[in-house]
Amino acid sequence: MTNPIYVTRPFLPPLEEFTEYLEKIWDSHILTNGGPFHQELEQKLCEYLGVKYISLFSNGTLALLTALQALRITGEVITTPYSFVAATHALWWNNIKPVFTDIEPETLNLDPDKIESAITPQTTAILPVHVYGNPCDTERIDEIAERYGLKVIYDAAHAFGVKIAGTSVANFGDLSVLSFHATKVFNTFEGGAIICHDENTKKHIDQLKNFGIINETTVVTPGINAKINEFQAALGLLQLKYIDVAVDKRKQITETYRAALGDIPGISFIWDQPDVKHNYAYFPILINPKEFGKTRDEVYEEFKTNNIFCRRYFYPLISQYPMYCNLESAQRGRMPVAEKITQEVLCLPIYPDLGAEDVRNICNIVHERPSPHRR
């Protein structure tokens, strides 16, 4: 049996290079609390991403929780049902009511045309997600937010390094939240960050992630412990040396998939947006069972029999989970695009060291369609 192929695999730099960082940590005995690697990584990420201020976190979910606290978001927040549950859970943990609206069929991001009808006197913010790293319509979302006096926090967990017309996608909205989880394009084992636009906001965020502590005897706000440690920061510094090569390899795999699968009836996928620098974080295909001859789940199971583990990102919708399904905005039929996409999507394996032969085998499995008389 061949080794299993998973939808993703963390990129890790050469171990001997990481050992050099570990030796410095051992020499300094500084493990956390804003150590030298932490400070250096913040600086280098600002430079690489093209942002003014960044605050590092131990994971992306704590960064989301803290972002909501930093902007004092309350009441209702308009968000997408089509994402990972962390975004909506962060609302729940802050005692905020999520209000789900439908997604665009082309990008699978929150549909700006559906936002205004969901705004109520209790709405205080919009929480869109750059799904698969494909940018939301930031211009329209930010314009709607400004018109109604709402805050915007972008969940940019998938969007490390993505740029729109040369500007980092993380520069839009009031805050943007990144994830550096092991499965992401850029990882620090676990990790995350908040990007903001001014020094005072960064200072407030830094206080919130460190128990609200100002100095040895002063605590100014009920904060949390969400600090990144020196081991995570050290890995991040090393990862930055390889990030452009890793993204280029992801792009090559994406182009291979598109060339091999683009002419199959019933198979579609998301194309690059004009004037966007993509990071090729995921490769989702959409399977129309009537045209393709098999359902998404049949293809999913067929991959598993070949020791290939694709993922149905995102299935089910967040709005269909038991803690959210009773919300008025979550009722079936209200979000027809998202409800259709969640039954058709399948993310194929993509990571920098995925071999060319493995990519060909994956494509061959998709090509093994039943003849029309079999359906």
* In-domain check, residue 9: no
Residues 227 and 251 in one domain: no
292: left (phi over 0), alpha (psi -120 to 50) or beta: alpha
| DSSP H or E stretch at residue 337 | helix 336-344
- 6 within some domain: no
Q: What is the pTM of this model?
A: 0.96
Residue type present at position 181: H
Query: Domain containing 84 — which CATH number?
Result: 3.40.640.10
**Residue 21's domain spans which residues?**
15-240
C-beta separation of 337 from 102 below 8 A: yes
Choose the final residue of a domain: 208, 240, 272. Answer: 240
Would you tell me how many other CB atoms lie within 10 Å of the CB of residue 40?
14
Do 166 and 263 reside in the same domain of the chain? no
Q: Is the peptide bond before 11 cis (omega within 30 degrees of 0)?
A: no
**208 and 96 in one domain?**
yes
For residues 233 and 273, state if they share a domain.
no
Q: Walk along the chain (375 residues) and give the pLDDT tens digit of each residue.
A: 479 999 999 999 999 999 999 999 999 999 999 999 999 999 999 999 999 999 999 999 999 999 999 999 999 999 999 999 999 999 999 999 999 999 999 999 999 999 999 999 999 999 999 999 999 999 999 999 999 999 999 999 999 999 999 999 999 999 999 999 999 999 999 999 999 999 999 999 999 999 999 999 999 999 999 999 999 999 999 999 999 999 999 999 999 999 999 999 999 999 999 999 999 999 999 999 999 999 999 999 999 999 999 999 999 999 999 999 999 999 999 999 999 999 999 999 999 999 999 999 999 999 986 544 333
Same domain, 219 and 265: no
Q: In which element (H, E) is residue 298 found?
A: helix 296-305
- Among 222, 240, 258, the domain-final residue is 240
Identify whether residues 33 and 95 lie together within a single domain: yes
Specify the number of domains making up the chain: 2
> Does residue 361 lie within any of the structural domains?
yes
CA dihedral angle for residue 326, residue 328, residue 334, residue 335, rounded to 10 degrees: -70
Do 133 and 178 fall within a single domain?
yes
Q: Are 225 and 254 in a shared domain?
A: no
3-state secondary structure of 344: helix
Task: Let me know how many helices (H) and strands (E) the chain has, helices first.
Answer: 12, 17
- The residue whose two tokens read 């930031």 is 138
**Location of structure tokens 């978001």:** 73
187 & 64 share domain: yes
Enter the DSSP assignment of 211: T
Asked if residue 248 and residue 220 are part of one domain, the reply reads no
Tell me which of 184, 210, 240 is where a domain ends.
240
User: Do both 214 and 149 map to the same domain?
Assistant: yes
